[in-house]
Amino acid sequence: MSEIAAQPDPGMSWSVRIRLSLMMFLQFMMFAVFWVSLATYLENVGVKESLRALAMSSMAIGCLASPIIGMIADRHFASQKVLAVLNLLSAVLLVAVSQVTDPTLVIVMLLIQQLCYMPTWGLTSSIAMSHSPSDKFPQIRVFGSIGWVASGLFSIVAAWLFLDTLGKPFQIDGTKIPFLCGAGTGIVAALVALTLPNTPPPAKGQKASIVDALGLRSFSLMRNGNFAIFIIISTLVMIPFSMYWSYGSVFLKDQGFNFITVTMNWGQFVEMFAMLLVPLALVKLGVKWTMVVGLLVLVIRYLLFLGGDKLGEGWYWMYFGAILVHGVIFGFFFVGGQVYVDKRAPKELRAQAQGLLFLITFGIGLLAGNFFNEWLIGANSQTTTPVAKVALAGAVKTNTALTTDANTHVPVTITDVRLYSRALNGTEVELLTAGEKLRAKLLAEAEKKGVTADDKQ
């Protein structure tokens, strides 16, 4: 029998797989249940224009804490304990948000809540990748998409059980109820975090500088030119991405859609299946081209919005198409990017590196995108009245903002695709198991000696 036979993939136990999957499910459910319809709620409580852009950027600002939380998990405390504390704080703050109606207080409480919540995205990815092979990570991450879709059940159950004052099915979108639903989910998520496999800090006891204390060590990865270009392109991609992510619910409301959370969750429904295709894409296409596919589909999204507007009322199905492709964009580009970062970062920096990725994309990129797109919406209004109210009054079509966004962002995104492909050319990250890597190494040694793997008995 050959001594160079590949070793079996250690894999995961079912107990670990189930707990990691449940972690992802709850982590994204607690966010989606209130975030999807947040723009509508803000409008209802009087948060307008630039203040609305700031509130919708609370997620982006929350990402600023990601490198610091990553540093804490890398150097001081077990990741699952940090996650439990953050989830509990997030739940308490969601209750606080639901109890205030003053626009300023809403924004302040939301900002604090997101500073606690957003670092958990990088943290959960780091925990999952610590206990599963990288090529199996999408199989765990898909449960985050399932949790996002399942958040729509809160709206469905409320409509089924209750009626509003007009005797119609009660809709919780735009009310404070989603915040309370998110708080309840957050408490459960905190308890589940305490059952996760132990993920001790890999750099505990090592000397730390002010750079380490601020969680900035991961920025050293930017010395690699290809990694730096990956980060820059990822930031630029967030500008077109944020129009749908942050303002999609307002657009759908202005078009007369009901059950906005459920409608937009069709994108996450497709994401569940797209996520399962990511491992296959990583093997067949490699990391670079997997992410390029995500970028190309982002172009298709805005072409669909443009087509829905230009072709008229009978072509509104194109709007649904734009919603459905969200899963492919998120799964192939963003999850592919997480795998890339995990492979590039050394073990002692992986939690910080994931935090850096979310800081750059859903932090700086989303923040810039929100304010740019808020300006774009305002520039396509015929009055200074808030866009949503003008649209409802029939003074301006909300389509204009999204289709102008298409005309503005499609060329930018296509340029991103070309630069991105060129930047990562020849830097493909290998997705080999430990056994396959060992076999490859031994094969190379055998070839140098002039023998084949099968000859070496």
The three-class DSSP label of residue 47 is coil
Work out the average pLDDT over 432-445: 47
CB atoms within 10 A of CB 192: 19
Work out the average pLDDT over 48-66: 80
**Structure tokens that stand for 294 in this block:** 């995500």
Indicate if the pLDDT at residue 358 is higher than 50.
yes
Q: Give the range among 106-110, 197-201, 402-406 with minimum mean pLDDT.
A: 402-406
Indicate if the pLDDT at residue 12 is higher than 50.
yes
* H or E segment to which residue 405 belongs: helix 399-423
Q: Give the range among 54-63, 140-149, 199-208, 373-382 with minimum mean pLDDT.
A: 373-382
| Predicted local distance difference test score (pLDDT) of residue 113 | 95
| Predicted local distance difference test score (pLDDT) of residue 25 | 94
| Predicted local distance difference test score (pLDDT) of residue 427 | 45
| Predicted local distance difference test score (pLDDT) of residue 380 | 67
| Predicted local distance difference test score (pLDDT) of residue 4 | 32
Place of tokens 């399962």: 276
Indicate if the pLDDT at residue 340 is higher than 90.
no
Q: How confident is the model at residue 401 (pLDDT cuts 50, 70, 90)?
A: very low
The three-class DSSP label of residue 312 is coil
Please report the domains of the chain, with CATH numbers, ordered by start residue.
Answer: 15-204+213-426 (1.20.1250.20)
| 399: nearest Cα among 251, 245, 243 | 251
Cα–Cα dist 94/99, whole Å: 9
pLDDT one-digit tens code per residue, 278-332: 878 888 888 778 888 888 888 888 788 777 766 766 667 888 888 888 888 888 8
Phi, psi of 8 (to 5 degrees): -65, 145
| Predicted local distance difference test score (pLDDT) of residue 431 | 39
Cα–Cα dist 225/227, whole Å: 5
Q: Give the range among 75-84, 210-219, 409-418 with minimum mean pLDDT.
A: 409-418
| 152: nearest Cα among 39, 36, 249 | 36
* H or E segment to which residue 106 belongs: helix 103-117
Indicate if the pLDDT at residue 436 is higher than 70.
no
| CA quadruple 46, 51, 57, 59: dihedral sign | negative
Cα–Cα dist 373/383, whole Å: 17
| Predicted local distance difference test score (pLDDT) of residue 369 | 84
Does residue 190 or residue 161 have the better pLDDT?
A: 190
| Predicted local distance difference test score (pLDDT) of residue 46 | 77
Counting residues of the chain whose pLDDT is more than 90, the rounded percentage is 13
Cα–Cα dist 313/256, whole Å: 13
Does residue 413 or residue 172 have the better pLDDT?
A: 172
pLDDT one-digit tens code per residue, 202-242: 777 666 666 666 657 778 888 888 888 888 888 888 888 88
Counting residues of the chain whose pLDDT is more than 70, the rounded percentage is 71
| Predicted local distance difference test score (pLDDT) of residue 9 | 40
Q: DSSP for 144-190? A: HHHHHHHTHHHHHHHHHH-B-TTSSBP--TTSSHHHHHHHHHHHHHH
Question: How many CA atoms lie within 13 Å of 333's alpha carbon, on the beta-carbon side?
Answer: 30
| 152: nearest Cα among 172, 180, 124 | 172
Q: How confident is the model at residue 26 (pLDDT cuts 50, 70, 90)?
A: very high
Mean pLDDT estimate for the chain: 75
| Predicted local distance difference test score (pLDDT) of residue 74 | 77
Q: Give the range among 27-31, 70-74, 394-398 with minimum mean pLDDT.
A: 394-398
Instruction: Please check whether residue 237 is in contact with residue 295, taking contact to mean a CB–CB distance below 8 angstroms.
Output: yes
Residues in the chain, total: 457
Q: How confident is the model at residue 260 (pLDDT cuts 50, 70, 90)?
A: confident
Q: Give the range among 56-60, 127-131, 185-189, 315-319 with minimum mean pLDDT.
A: 315-319
Query: Does the predicted model carry a pTM greater than 0.75?
Result: no
Strands (DSSP E) along 286-375, which ranges? none
Q: Give the range among 82-96, 149-163, 170-184, 424-438 with minimum mean pLDDT.
A: 424-438
Instruction: Please check whether residue 91 is in contact with residue 190, taking contact to mean a CB–CB distance below 8 angstroms.
Output: yes
| Predicted local distance difference test score (pLDDT) of residue 159 | 66
**Structure tokens that stand for 270 in this block:** 């497709």
| Predicted local distance difference test score (pLDDT) of residue 52 | 77
Work out the average pLDDT over 261-271: 80
Indicate if the pLDDT at residue 273 is higher than 90.
no
